[in-house]
Amino acid sequence: MFFEAFKFVALAGFFSVIAASQSYLGTPSGTKPKLKSYTNNHSYDYSLFNPEDLSALSETSFTTLAHPFFPHYSVRVKKSPFCDETVKSYTGYIDIEARHLFFYFFESRNDPDKDDVIFWTNGGPGCSSSLGLFMELGPCRIINNGTGTKFHPESWNSNANIFFIDQPIGVGFSYAEYGETVSTTEEAAKDIAAFVSIFFEHFTKFKGRPLHMAGESYGGRYIPLFAAEIYDQNARLIEAGIEPINLKSIMIGNGLTDFYTMAASYFDSVCTSVIVPPIFDISTCVRMKQAQPRCLEWLKESCVDKLDSIGCSAAYGFCANEIVLPIYFSGINIYDMSKKCEGKIEETMCYPVTQHVTTYLSLPETQSKLGVDPIRQGNFNSCNNDLNIAFMNSMDEIHPTQHYVAALLERNVNVLVYVGSMDWVCNWMGNEAWTLALEWSGKTAFGRQDLREWSVEGKRAGVTRSARGLTFATIDGAGHMAPYDRPKESLALVNRWLNETDL
């Protein structure tokens, strides 16, 4: 496929050119399983080890948490004070036998004993959530070209407890001991659902808190499936006498969710003035306009109506050559069309700060503080291109993710789709189109709502429409990584969402 041919590194997108199952062993109905925790290889009865506020954890060694309902999973966690001195922070690994997913956890700056919990993942597929942490919505930003950090006042942990997870296996500090890989979102969802359950079951002060699953870019595919797995797992937890997860909502930022419905927006984004003035000459736009009907027809025939892997790959190749590649070679920042790309996209993703994140996380002192396993220490890579290719080869991107969104809405899980208005790769037109086309019981009510302005401190921040638990919102002046470009507006949007306040 054309993704492999060009080997560019992308956070995600319909045309991201550059871009384990477990068996559940429950307990008899109504019987609550006896939990155990393990510290330094010593076993403790869970009733004696109950780190209600996580204060029992060590800064120098991991505490391992296990659960009989998830026999193949455990969680290692330690205190890791860094990045934000105003809150307690932790790092650790989700261990799935010989596979290990790395995570960061920051308590809320407001009221960690009462505030909601947010799970965050970046996209790719194959990019580390350290980009979200250190560049976008996390409690600190990188300074001095990667030698340190500074306090970030508009962090999303201002009013929520928040996880950042390097997933799937092989991303960031996550790794497998024997080369195991994950190549579909369905596989990855099993690991995330198990982790969430183990964490809430052990750290009981968070039990029952509203959980919001959030992600960006390819997170538009990840998050609906992760949330669906958590929702479906709840039935098994209840049967086993375990308190279910209070899944409240999902939040998708500049996401890839319905690739086909979004595909039609690429011509308009570069050849009309809907985002910025047309960036191509007339002859280029005419050729693109002529190619678009064939592109969409071929995609529908070979990728949507039926999955013909050879035909779908050929359709992708044709669409890429005629509609996508021109912008990659234009010098425009595909994540923010108002700007030129800074540096080589395969090195910087058009943002030199990404290299500063890499520098900081490659420092031995940083890795030591975080508790990175020795096998994963050394030079840090923000994105894993091999994993990206594995997901593309499995055609994970074309699976019907929007159906999961509809199913969650029907089960009263709210959905926020927010989009930076300057993005190209997962632009606002494509995202608006799929939310309007989504087949669910609230489709008519949602479609009847006109777009209206929403504001922050009396100034327009974007436009929005909302009905029956589904909200679509744009963020003016922001690109693909909206919290990086418009941190104040992004935080205001999230806080209103958490508080169930109208935008």
Secondary structure in 3-state letters for 342-410: CCCHHHHCCCCHHHHHHHHHHCHHHHHHHCCCHHHCCCCCCECHHHHHHHHHCCHHHCCHHHHHHHHHH
Split at pLDDT 50, 70, 90, the class of 53 is low
Residue 464 lies in a domain: yes
Contact 100, 93 (CB under 8 A): yes
Position 488 pLDDT exceeds 70:
yes
Say which of 67, 100, 202, 480 is annotated catalytic: 480
Annotation marks residue 217 as catalytic: yes
Q: Which of 95, 423, 476, 485 is catalytic?
A: 423
| Catalytic choice (37, 80, 217, 313) | 217
Domain count, the chain: 2
Q: At what angle do helices 219-239 and 185-202 cross, to 10 degrees?
A: 50
- Contact yes or no for 17/344 (Cβ under 8 A): no
Do residue 318 and residue 267 come from a single domain?
yes
pLDDT at 49: 41
34 or 58, which is more confident? Answer: 58
Claim to verify: residue 267 and residue 252 sit in the same structural domain: no
Q: Cα–Cα distance between 24 and 26 in angstroms, integer?
A: 6
Q: 256 and 266 share a domain?
A: no
Give the residue from 397, 416, 433 where a domain finishes: 397
In a domain, 268, yes or no: yes
In the annotation, is 480 catalytic?
Answer: yes
Res. 154: pLDDT tops 50: yes
For residue 116, pLDDT over 80 is answered with: yes
Asked if residue 146 and residue 278 are part of one domain, the reply reads no
Of 47-56, 223-232, 313-322, which one has max mean pLDDT?
223-232
Q: What is the mean pLDDT of the chain?
A: 88
pLDDT in tens, 234-258: 999 999 999 999 999 999 999 999 9
Contact 134, 122 (CB under 8 A): no
Q: Is residue 285 part of a domain?
A: yes
* 28 preceded by a cis bond (ω within 30 of 0): no
Q: Does 31 map to a domain?
A: no
- Say whether both 245 and 291 belong to one domain: no
**Enclosing domain of residue 327:** 2-12+261-349+393-397
Mean pLDDT value across residues 107-116: 96
Q: 125 with 225, same domain? A: yes
